[in-house]
Structures are given as structure tokens and as C-alpha cells.
Amino acid sequence: MRIIDLALKDIQQLVRDRKALLFLVAMPILFTVFMGIMLSPPAPVSDARLPIGFINQDQSGTLGAAFRSLLESSEAVKPIEVAQSTAENNDATRGGELVRDGKIAALVIVPDRFSAALLADEPTKAIVIVDANQQAGQTANSALSTATNRLLGAIEAARLSTANQPEKFDTALQSALAAWQKPPIGVTVETLNAPKEEKNPALGGFKQSAPGMLVQFTIFGLTTTATILVIERKSRTLQRMLTTSMRRWEIIAGHLLAMFTVVLLQQTLLVVFAQVFLNVNYLAQPLATLLVMVSFGAWIAALGLFISTIAKTDEQAVMWSLLAMFILTALAGAWFPLDVTGQLFNTIGHLTPGAWAMDGFQNIVVRGLGLASVVVPALVLWGFAALFFGLAVWRFKFE
């Protein structure tokens, strides 16, 4: 009971400190969102082709629509409808303004009787407005030339194939145009002896930042929890407790329980926030998540207790806590996945407990693994917890 009373005293002391709550809860949430946005891959572009305006004045023919279909199948440009003006020459003027403003790469105007002229071998031209000095204009010009050649090629192919059966010309023309839009032969280019690029699933936005900031700010929380014994020394509360019937192990256990409770509550809040608002699915394996949280919390509490036994002042407690946060967080892969750092850094990182905590969390939220995947990380964390607890007990005996 005295252990619980001491733990409750420490927790109440921390809860009354609004600055501590800011660093334990608000700052981790803000950094999780910020880092998640920074680490998220750019949104894929739905259609990266250059827009070109298209006006079809040849409403009675079919080749204007066929010309547009050929442009739609292009990998470089995409035709967009531009409203046709009723006044003469207004289309060209307005199209020039759109091209100059960069809203479209080019404007194509298919004139009236375009289809009839082509089929009768009469001279006719589509009007193209483009800035040939710009890269976009050059690309659009090339795509338009390709589509024009395909249209003329389809007409010629239809004529040759139906020389003796002119009544089948329209059908042959449609088949030729369809062949250009969906060529029966495709080409796949493969580079021999080139290593395949493997996408690291851990690079995905919030699935990296959520466990990473949880690890970082849980360690950062030591700046508040590790000052407990320092404050008790200043207020001489510790000396008074040592003169009571409370044994040393009970005092240590009380402080350790308080630190563990605070750390576990902090982790719980961050896990719930990431689950609800960031779609980081910790609850896909709730038992595995709880095991990693408890194991990581045990190590953090033991580390905080150890720091509080070696720090003589508040400044020293903060200094040791910040030093632990920066070194252990960087080596843990909380800011970036260890998988992208190379084998040497990865190996060094896994000499620290934080890397094993990151492994445990990411096995759940990134790799979709189950309870068995976090057993080894949990055992390693408990091993570090036992080590630092033993150091804290050893150091506490000489206070």
C-alpha cells in the first residue's frame, strides 16, 4: 500500500505541472503529424500529360472526332474541350491568350469540311496555335504531328485495303484508327543486371512518424520523471522517507511504478490518437501492441529511475535525459528507418533498446505481423529494463 501511495504522490506531482503535460502529450502529437506529412510520399499525379485545347468545327464529318481520339491515346498530351466562339477569329485570339498564360500547351482548331476535304484529297489544314519556343509547345507540336501522320496513314491504309470495295471504306478506316489507339504489338524494356528497386514499407508517412515520435517523446518524458528524486532531495522528502519504516526497495518500487504508469498512459494516448486520426492500425494486433508498450515502458521507467539517482540537480537530470533522447532516438530509427542507413548503422542501432521498440511497433503497423513478431523485441526491452533497474538499485544504495 505504501508503494502505491508513493506512486500516486509522484503522479499527482506530474499532473499538476502543466508544462510537463504539454511535453508529454501535446508536443508528441504535433510532431507526429508534422513528421508524418514530411515523410509521406507525394500524391501521385492522376494525369501528367500536357493539356491542349481542342475545337472541332467539322460537326458534319467524322475525322475531326477521330483526330481527337488519336490525341487522347497519346502519352504526351491530353485534349480538353474549349468552348467555340460564335464570332469569327475569336477562337484563335482566345486560344493564343490561353497558350500565352500557360493554361494550355497548344490549341487545335479543326475547320469546317475537314473530313470531306481529306477524303477528297483536297488541301486542308487544322489550325494549331502553339509557342514553339517553350518546351511544352515543342512537346505538343511533336504529339500533334504524330497524331496527324497516324490519321493520314489510317486513311491511306483504308483506301488501299478497299480499292475494289469502296463501300467498305468506312469500316476499314475505323479499324485502322482503332489499331493506332490500341496497337497489337507492345514493347517491354528490361535492363539486365540492374538491381531491382525495393520499396521500403517503413517509409510511409504516419506509419514511420507515429511509432518514431512515440519512442522519441517517451524518452523525452524522462526530463520530467527523472527529476522526481532530485526534487525529493531538495525538499528533503527523501531523507525523511529513509528515516521511516519504509525499506529502500519500497521507495524504489514506488518511484518506478509512478514512472511506468506515466509512460504507459503517454503511450496509450499517442497510440489512440494515431489509430483514430492517422489510420495507423495498432489495433490490428492489440495484444502485440500492448506487449511492446509494456516492455518499452518498463525500460523507460528503469532508465528514468537510474538517471534520477545519478543527477544531483534539476539541470543534470534534464541534461542526461536530453542526451539519452537525442542519442537513443537517432540510433533507434525514430526519425528515419534503419533499413535505409546501411548494415553498419543498422547493427549499431540495434545495440540500443529504442531500435527494438521501433521493430516491435513497425512489425505490427507496417509489416502486418502478429504477436510472435514482437516476442524477441519485448524480451530485449525487458533485458535492458532489468539492467537499468539493477544499476538504479546499486546507485541508490549509496545516496
Residue 118 grid coordinates:
481529306
Report how far residue 172's alpha carbon sits from residue 134's, in angstroms, rounded to the nearest whole number: 38
Three-state DSSP state, 258 = helix
**Residue with grid cell 512515440, as numbered in its chain:** 214
For 165-185, how does the pLDDT look when each residue is reduced to its tens digit (9 = 90+)? 877 888 888 888 787 766 554
DSSP single-letter state for residue 17: -
Sheet of strand 127-130, all strands in order from the earlier edge strand to the far edge? 77-81, 50-56, 106-110, 127-130
SS (H, E, C) 164-212: CCHHHHHHHHHHHHHHHHCCCCCCCCCCCCCCCCCCCHHHCHHHHHHHH
Domain residue spans of the chain: 2-40+208-396, 50-181
**Residue with grid cell 475531326, as numbered in its chain:** 64
108 Cβ partners below 8 Å, 6+ apart? 52, 53, 54, 55, 67, 71, 79, 126, 127, 128, 144
Of the candidates 365, 345, 11, which has an alpha carbon nearest to the alpha carbon of residue 214? 365
Longest dimension (CA), the chain: 117
For 378-395, how does the pLDDT look when each residue is reduced to its tens digit (9 = 90+)? 999 999 999 998 888 887
Report how far residue 179's alpha carbon sits from residue 242's, in angstroms, rounded to the nearest whole number: 92
For 13-66, how does the pLDDT look when each residue is reduced to its tens digit (9 = 90+)? 666 666 666 677 788 888 888 888 887 766 666 677 889 889 888 888 888 888
- The lowest-confidence range among 197-201, 292-296, 303-307 is 197-201
Phi, psi dihedral angles at 80 (to 5 degrees): -125, 145
Question: Does this model's pTM top 0.75?
Answer: no
pLDDT at 61 (0 to 100):
85
Q: Quick check: 318 and 228 in contact, CB under 8 A?
A: no
- Which fold is adopted by the domain 50-181? D-Maltodextrin-Binding Protein; domain 2 (3.40.190)
Residue 285 grid coordinates:
494486433
Strand partners, 50: 77
Report how far residue 116's alpha carbon sits from residue 314's, in angstroms, rounded to the nearest whole number: 91
For 308-347, how does the pLDDT look when each residue is reduced to its tens digit (9 = 90+)? 888 877 788 788 888 888 898 889 988 888 877 788 988 9
**Radius of gyration of the chain measured on its C-alpha atoms:** 35
Report how far residue 393's alpha carbon sits from residue 399's, in angstroms, rounded to the nearest whole number: 10
Highest-confidence range of 123-137, 188-202, 366-380, 384-398, by mean pLDDT? 366-380
Residue of 89 and 340 predicted with greater confidence: 340
Of the candidates 305, 323, 325, which has an alpha carbon nearest to the alpha carbon of residue 315? 323
164-180 exposure pattern, b = at least 16 Cβ within 10 A, e = fewer: eeeeebeebbeebbeeb
Report how far residue 85's alpha carbon sits from residue 343's, in angstroms, rounded to the nearest whole number: 65
Report how far residue 275's alpha carbon sits from residue 214's, in angstroms, rounded to the nearest whole number: 13
